[in-house]
Amino acid sequence: MKIARSPSSSRSCPVLLSLFLAAILSACSDGSDSIPSEFTGASYHVDCSAATPGDGTKDAPWSDLEAVNAITLEPGDQLLLRRGTVCYGMLKPRGSGTQQHRVRIGAYGDGALPHIDAQGMYTAAVHIEDMSHVVVQDLELTNSGDETTPHRGVYLTPVQSRMTNLEVRDLYIHDVSGPVGFNGTAKRGGGIIGNSLFDTTETQFDGVLIENNRIEDVARSGIYFDGTSAGTGDRPRAFEPWPAAGQRVVIRGNVLKRLQGDAIVAHGTAGAVIEDNVVSVGNLAGRDWLSADRNCSAGIWTWNSINTVIQRNEVSGYRFGQSETDGCDGTAFDIDNEQEGTVIQYNYSYNNEGGFILLCSDDEPHTGIVRFNLSIDDGKVLNVSPCKAPIVGTFNDIHIYNNTFVSSRPITALETVTLREITNAGTMQFANNIVYATAPHDAPLPCGDFCSNNLFYNMPSSGTHFVIGDPLFVDASWRGSGRLNAGRAFKLRDGSPATAAGMGLQNPPEQGDYFGNEVPANPALGMHQPN
């Protein structure tokens, strides 16, 4: 098939004085959006409202996705869909860019985002397979149909080669249908799904940025990144190389709501960063809050991974799976099985029925740090579970310190599984936290010997070197959204008994407390360190 390159391509631009090169490149672009200079290749255009098919130029655009899927994109090329139009089917381009000249898939013209509707008839609205150095942006994606088959908005799959330098940003993904059960097949359906088949070390992810997307009403997962096969059993210790993992994965600044399962999951990754995302309302299975068939899922979590950083996120509205009183998960965060080195810091969670965080015991390496977070009106402080039956393994070297918990029901664990019942809790630590009950609470936090240097208000003490008293928050009655707004309401006022009452930290965080303030040698209790 012979394809005519767009007359707007910079390959046809004359080369003048270097002083005017940037201006010339701008003049030679399609004129719809500001195009970075790295995209110096051909520009292909698609207008699915066009009455007749063209040759892919701006003046004679293609009228369907079939023509797009038939070409091979080259470094610096752009594939642009016209704003204000709807294309039906699946976009599955071919080709790759280079580090200097990526391939861009995006929009041109004026109006609403170009919309690709896969109608539940295709694997995904956009399927990126064995492509590297690619940017996908400025699209609206839907894929609603059969609820027994997983569908996706965006599907990233390395099948025969390593996929490097992928950027998925500024998309609006909604109304993606599929199964909502607990199994792995269901989890790999949803908004943005990365799924490495892991046949060899060459079928991996290396460098993925998922940023500033809006994802709503999808089944099951919002963003599920699977960097390696769950069944390999090859995950080494953190200090050992792990070529089988998804490397350099960043999930940042996304907004996700009304999800039928998990919001963001990092699985099979090494050094993933999940930050500045806002998540609300999950576990719904597309139904009412208290439906009996809600599934087991959580807001943001990681498993079979090493050295994951989860920071500055906001998570609210997760509910128990199964039922209101007899269920599973429903937490904002989760340190799940077969992982180590997870850091959960500077996050804000509220109104999560299952609690602030789920901790799963495991017989694999299991370490983590949970610090300088704020939890308001979550169902529990901690949801401690074996996550396997019978109870196996240990909570080895998990440190939970300098967090602020505000709750009407500040107990730990599902009622049937408490820390006291897990005899192999290893070196777990719960220290320097504020546990604030909004109404008098008779039961102590059942963490026993794992507790030290915590403040308790409206409830009995637990552990050693504790403080009993009002922490003197700026505004303990404040409720609402916004991580920084919440943080300011629950700062400590002058005279707080929490000031300088904490045990010293061997390795204070470089980024400071919840607000970035320096953490002193004798820290205050809770997430805020007064100046």
Q: Does a structural domain hold residue 524?
A: no
Q: How many structural domains is the chain composed of?
A: 1
Distance CA 379, CA 407 (A): 7
Query: Which residue, among 116, 39, 112, 118, has the nearest Cα to 75 in the 3D structure?
Result: 39
Q: Does a structural domain hold residue 520?
A: no
pLDDT bin (cut points 50, 70, 90) of residue 240 is: low
Most confident of 291-300, 310-319, 421-430: 310-319
- Identify the pLDDT of residue 445: 83
pLDDT bin (cut points 50, 70, 90) of residue 404 is: very high
- Identify the pLDDT of residue 326: 55
Helices within 44-183 (DSSP H only) = 65-69
- Identify the pLDDT of residue 113: 98
- Residue 443 · residue 473 · CB < 8 Å: no
Which is more confident, 411 or 425? 411
Task: Write out pLDDT tens, residues 51-63.
Answer: 999 999 999 999 9
- Residue 317 · residue 282 · CB < 8 Å: yes
Q: Does a structural domain hold residue 518?
A: no
Reply yes or no on whether the pLDDT at 349 is more than 50.
yes
Which is more confident, 414 or 157? 157
pTM of the model: 0.89
pLDDT (average), residues 500-508: 89
- Identify the pLDDT of residue 244: 65
Query: Which residue, among 107, 148, 155, 150, has the nearest Cα to 130 in the 3D structure?
Result: 155
**Domain containing residue 467:** 45-489
Provide the total of helices (H) and of strands (E) in the chain, helices listed first.
Answer: 4, 40
Q: Does a structural domain hold residue 327?
A: yes
Q: CATH number, domain at 123?
A: 2.160.20
Partners of 209 in the beta sheet? 167, 250
pLDDT bin (cut points 50, 70, 90) of residue 328 is: confident
Reply yes or no on whether the pLDDT at 18 is more than 60.
no
- Identify the pLDDT of residue 506: 78
Write out the DSSP string of 455-517: EEESS---SBS-EES---BS-TT---S-HHHHHHHTPBPTT-TTTT-SPPPSS--TT-STTSP
